[in-house]
Amino acid sequence: MDRFERIEAYPNTFLALLPLELRKLLSLYVYHCNFTIEVSEWIIGPTLTIGTNGIAHSIHFPKNIISKIPQLVTDIRADRIKVIEGTNLKIGYVGADIELSIISPTSHTLIPLCKNLLDALIELTKL
Amino acid sequence: MERFERVQAFPGTYFEILPLDLRKLLVLYIYQCNFNIRIDRPQIYEKIYIYTKLHIYDVGKGIHYTIRLEKISIPDLENLIKFIALGQSIEIRGTDLHIIYSGFDLDLYIRSYMIELYIPLCKELINTLIELNKFRK
């Protein structure tokens, strides 16, 4: 299931009334990222780099969190609250498609949930 | 010294030829932040909030970074400000945070557990560091 088609995610909402192609278009519009996102493999591990307003933010994912990402993605798709934890990194999804919360001991980043972000998470697990 | 007047910072540059007020206008244009900064100072640690949305409480409308600066981890804030003002590179290593200014006014590099952050050096960012430093005195 593609989370952003919203078919199974919100089966009883008004979106279910619309034709699939229109739903797809709407969700692409709503979930369009307003930042750039890149996945790369660094010596210290898989890395997600987010760029916006001149700020570049790289998050290194410890190995013990990578294996938990598929479950996180599944829960996001089903709109279920989920927190996964690895060494010095915690990722939380609180539902309602608002944001992804990434916490390290000295920082906290809130990233709007958008299609490219989900795609990037899936790509991370393939590295 | 006002860092962004560039008078003392780069004494040999073309900026020196221009009248002070024009220099001020130019640097205000160049060094305007295109993001928002706020600081918070609870008792245990200080926090810098950097966000690209309009308001700090707007959810899902932009990216929001919070950086925790503990006094123990970054005791040398005053030195960092001084070096940035002079345009000289400096590296500050705290217990759990690492800040680098490499000169040339490009950005401030902050590294901590699992994250790296490049923040464009702009006037408000410097003002925030100065304000944080005042709190500490």
Q: What is the pLDDT of residue B7?
A: 44
Give the one of A87, A98, A109 whose C-beta lies nearest to B65's C-beta: A109
Whether B79 has a pLDDT exceeding 70, the answer reads yes
**Which residue in chain A is spatially nearest to B67 when comparing CA positions?**
A107
Q: How far is CA B49 from the centre of its chain?
A: 12
A1 band by pLDDT with thresholds 50, 70 and 90: very low
Q: What CATH number should be reported for the domain holding residue B94?
A: 2.30.31
CA A101/CA A6 separation, integer angstroms = 22
Question: Left (φ > 0), alpha (ψ -120 to 50) or beta: where does B13 sit?
Answer: beta
B15 and B38 share one domain: no
A41 and A24 share one domain: no
**Which residue in chain A is spatially nearest to B94 when comparing CA positions?**
A106
pLDDT in tens, A73-125: 988 888 889 999 999 999 999 887 788 999 999 999 999 988 889 889 999 98
Tell me if chain A has a CB within 8 Å of the CB of B112: yes
Residues of the domain holding A24: 1-30
B54 to chain A nearest CA, in Å? 13
A74 and A52 share one domain: yes
Number of domains composing chain B: 2
A56 and A108 share one domain: yes
* Mean of per-residue pLDDT scores for chain A: 84
Other C-beta atoms within 10 Å of B123: how many? 16
- For residue A60, list chain B residues with Cβ-Cβ distance below 8 A: 114-116
A51 and A88 share one domain: yes
Q: What is the pLDDT of residue B115?
A: 94
Question: Left (φ > 0), alpha (ψ -120 to 50) or beta: where does B20 sit?
Answer: alpha
Q: Do A106 and B59 touch (CB under 8 A)?
A: no
B100 and B53 share one domain: yes
A101 and A45 share one domain: yes
* Mean of per-residue pLDDT scores for chain B: 79
Q: Which of B115, B121, B122, B124 to mutate to test the interface with A (most CBs of A within 10 A)?
A: B115
B8 band by pLDDT with thresholds 50, 70 and 90: very low
B17 and B58 share one domain: no
Higher-pLDDT residue of A95, B42: A95
Residues of the domain holding B113: 31-136
A6 and A68 share one domain: no
A3 and A21 share one domain: yes
B60 to chain A nearest CA, in Å? 5
Over the Cα atoms of chain A, what is R_g?
15
Helices (H), chain A: 20-30, 63-66, 69-77, 115-126
pTM score of the predicted model? 0.80
B72 and B110 share one domain: yes
Higher-pLDDT residue of A52, B72: A52
Number of domains composing chain A: 2
- For residue B35, list chain A residues with Cβ-Cβ distance below 8 A: 53-55
